[in-house]
Amino acid sequence: MAYFFRSSGDRPNSFNKSQIMGGELHDRLEENIRPFLDLIDKLRSIGIQKDLDMSLPTIVVIGDQSSGKSSVLEALSGVALPRGSGIVTRCPLELKLRKVTGGSWKATISYRRKKMEVANPSSGKTESSGARQDVRVSYIPQTITFEDPSLVERHVKDAQIAQAGDGAGISDEIITLEIRSPDVCDLTLIDLPGIARVPLQGQPLDIGNKIKTLIMKFIRKPETINMVVVPLNIDIATTEALKMAQEVDPEGTRTFAVLTKPDLIDKGTERHILATAQNKVVPLRKGYIMVKCRGQQQIDDNISLDEASTMERDFFENHDYFSCLLNENKATIPCLATELTEQLVDHIKKSLPLLDEEIKKQLSEVRKELKKIEGGPPRDPQGAKQYLINILSEFNQKMQSLSLGDLIIKENLFNELRVEYKKWNDFLNNSMSTFFHPSAKIKQEIMKNRGRELASFSSYRVFEMLLQKHVAQLKDPAIVLLTTVKDIIFKQFSCLSKDCFWRYPELLKLTMEKIEDIQSSQHRKAEERITEQFEMENMICTQDDIYFKTLNRNMKEAFSDTQLPLCDIASKYSDMLKAYYEIMVQRMADQVPMLTRYCMLKEAVHLLCKDMLTLLDSENVGEILSENTDIGRKRRDLQARLDRLNTAQGEIEKCI
Ligand code: GDP
Ligand code: MG
């Protein structure tokens, strides 16, 4: 059985195989249609789908359960598909019909067999023991080629069981059935599970929703033509499938309907149904086509598809109401085949510019990605060395900028440091209040620590000792600040190194080792300096001018060095202590941050940059520059993608 294309101006009234296949017409149609279908086929075989955000143009068949979807596909393809009551189609079935000149009927079914494995069966624990078992699901691709059309039904059933299990469950994994034969039209359609209204025995309660979700996934795509199968023995307005199609395509630009079972309509409804078929009741932009397939009785009577086709023609020719549909090209399966092909080609033509644009977009993205990892170090020692010089000097430059605050990677280094330095300053200021409040405490301490002096006599030794005790308490927090600063700077150094050398694991490792060495020796050095600073602070020392300035600011009266003896009385001790402490705190608020920044950042960067250059003296520069294996893989993947996209673009350009 064959349905071949007829151009709109050339539709014969009576369907005649030999006439339609007749040479000239055939050739012209080959010219107009085949290249587009071939293009989509080629794009699919290139595997371009996985590179695109859009899908390739296809026709999807949807309808309520038992509306006649499979019967229509059967009639179009000339092969028997699984049928029965309930959900027979449980996975999307992509039916690729390819007309071949010469050669015999041949089909290939491909799908992915679901395999479940318990991840660690060796543990010996069974489910009943309560242990959780990890089940790993993997899919093994299957491809079976066969030459007997009567085997289609069995193979499709097997594939469904392999993918969706033996029960009544569904799966959204596609089964592809390609039929090559001189007797089919060129078409690709996807048959989807029918919309179930009520779950059958053994079916999950949410089966209806599951099926709808699956259908939605397909019909939502703007590249899909939705072919809605509507049986005429029910009210078209209540058809769920049509509602869904209208939901995703309110304009109706890619929806059209096939009316089935015209032999089963209620007497008296013919006029209304004719009006529906003529697009006068529920108007669809792409309209309706009425077909009559084999009923259950005819199947039971072993009526062949060929015979059914003749019977369909007779049915319409002799029908009191529907015969006019033949002239309007709105009835019979051959007419549907032509219509589908034309619509598909039309849709492909419309989608091409978008597809072309999408491919161009992807091409430029892939090229950009490739550029990032392109190049790589030269293989010859001289070239490799020059390359190393370049990347090292770039790294050193970046390090310098980082230490000057000109380069910001992720977080702002100087901001982070400032936050910590401010905390240190706040801590010093707070320590003042714990030292001097309550003020009676200071007086008590002075009295307690006095030597042979009578009360109210002054002793510089006591004054000094009290200050020394409190200054010493600031050392540990200063060391903590140093560690925090070290961590912050280390994070920034390693971040910058990864940024610069992520492609070269060996170089990155060497750099990190250097950073760690320099950081820890600088840390030791800074710690010594801080310790030394606190040893100096033990001396209690400031200039007279500075001391009096602070003292005067704190006290109501003004003192000068000539009034000194008046001041040196026990009652003024706490003011004097406070004045000195303030001076010391101010000194330390700057001194410790300056020390940490100098040792951990400025000097560390200087040392690191110098040390990095020693890498140029290495025996084996090639080893230092050996690349990450992931990069090689990524480059290969991108290259393959680039090839696919380029091929696809070349193919599209031939058709545009
Ligand atoms: P699906 O569930 O949508 O795939 O529906 P099927 O194609 O399995 O058809 C459901 C039932 O309707 C089957 O018994 C078919 O034989 C029958 N059927 C389909 N089309 C026609 C038709 O045009 N006329 C008659 N009388 N029965 C049909
Ligand atoms: Mg079906």
- For the chain, the domains span 4-120+132-362, 412-501+510-601
The tokens for 231 are 């049986």
Instruction: Judge whether residue 154 has pLDDT over 70.
Output: yes
Contact criterion met (CB below 8 Å) for 39 and 348: yes
Query: At 279, phi and psi to the nearest 5?
Result: 70, 35
CA distances to 86, 118, 205 from 201, in Å:
10, 29, 9
Coil vs helix vs strand at 346: helix
> Rounded CA gap, 482 and 524, in Å?
10
Question: Could you tell me which CATH number the domain at 412-501+510-601 has?
Answer: 1.20.120.1240
Closest Cα to atom 26, ligand 1: which residue?
295
Share of the chain above pLDDT 70, in %: 88
Q: Is 341's C-beta closer than 6 angstroms to any atom of ligand 1? A: no
Burial class (CB in 10 A: 0-12, 13-18, 19+), 212: middle
Closest Cα to atom 14, ligand 1: which residue?
296
Q: In the prediction, which pLDDT does 22 show? A: 33
Q: Is 487's C-beta closer than 6 angstroms to any atom of ligand 1? A: no
Contact criterion met (CB below 8 Å) for 263 and 315: yes
Q: What value does the mean pLDDT of the chain take?
A: 84
Q: Is 71's C-beta closer than 6 angstroms to any atom of ligand 1? A: yes
- Tell me the average pLDDT across 148-177: 87
Homologous superfamily of 4-120+132-362: P-loop containing nucleotide triphosphate hydrolases (3.40.50.300)
- Tell me the average pLDDT across 550-573: 66
DSSP 411: B
The string of pLDDT tens digits covering residues 474-520 is 999 999 999 999 999 999 999 999 999 988 999 999 999 999 999 99
- Tell me the average pLDDT across 292-296: 90
Q: In the prediction, which pLDDT does 11 show? A: 33
- Tell me the average pLDDT across 258-263: 95
How remote is the CA of residue 339 from the centroid of ligand 2, in Å? 21
Q: Is 159's C-beta closer than 6 angstroms to any atom of ligand 1? A: no
Ligand nearest to the CA of 265: 1
How remote is the CA of residue 177 from the centroid of ligand 1, in Å? 21
| Dihedral class, residue 93 (left if φ above 0, else alpha if ψ from -120 to 50, else beta) | beta
Complete DSSP assignment for 24-52: HHHHHHHHHHHHHHHHHHHHHHHTGGGG-
How remote is the CA of residue 241 from the centroid of ligand 2, in Å? 14
Complete DSSP assignment for 191-255: E-PPBPSSPPTTS-TTHHHHHHHHHHHHHTSTTEEEEEEEETTS-GGG-HHHHHHHHH-TT-TTE
Longest CA pairwise span in the chain (Å): 137
> Rounded CA gap, 43 and 37, in Å?
10
Residue among 91, 264, 293, 302 to mutate when testing ligand 1 (max atoms within 8 A of CB) = 293
Highest mean pLDDT among 179-183, 455-459, 521-525, 557-561: 521-525
The CA-based dihedral angle spanning residues 585, 591, 593, 596, taken in that order and rounded to the nearest 10 degrees: -140
Residue that is written with structure tokens 């051959």 in the block = 334
Q: What is the pTM of this model?
A: 0.60
> Rounded CA gap, 393 and 398, in Å?
8
Q: Is 231's C-beta closer than 6 angstroms to any atom of ligand 1? A: no
Pick the atom of ligand 1 nearest to 67's CA: 3
Q: In the prediction, which pLDDT does 317 show? A: 95
Contact criterion met (CB below 8 Å) for 391 and 501: yes
Helices (H), 502-543: 505-537
Ligand nearest to the CA of 294: 1
The tokens for 392 are 């090292």
Q: Is 70's C-beta closer than 6 angstroms to any atom of ligand 1? A: yes
- Which band of pLDDT confidence, cut at 50, 70 and 90, is reported for residue 25? very low
Pick the atom of ligand 1 nearest to 65's CA: 2
Q: Is 69's C-beta closer than 6 angstroms to any atom of ligand 1? A: yes
Contact criterion met (CB below 8 Å) for 93 and 177: yes
How remote is the CA of residue 67 from the centroid of ligand 1, in Å? 6
How remote is the CA of residue 66 from the centroid of ligand 1, in Å? 6
Our separate counts of H helices and E strands in the chain read 23, 9
- Tell me the average pLDDT across 447-454: 82
Q: Is 17's C-beta closer than 6 angstroms to any atom of ligand 1? A: no
Contact criterion met (CB below 8 Å) for 277 and 230: no
Ligand nearest to the CA of 196: 1
Share of the chain above pLDDT 90, in %: 42
The string of pLDDT tens digits covering residues 320-354 is 999 999 999 999 999 998 888 888 888 888 888 98
* Exposure string over 450-483, b if 16+ CB within 10 A, otherwise e: beeeeeeebbeebbeebbeebbeebbeebbebbe
Closest Cα to atom 22, ligand 1: which residue?
261
CA distances to 8, 19, 307, 334 from 12, in Å:
10, 9, 20, 11
- Tell me the average pLDDT across 369-394: 85
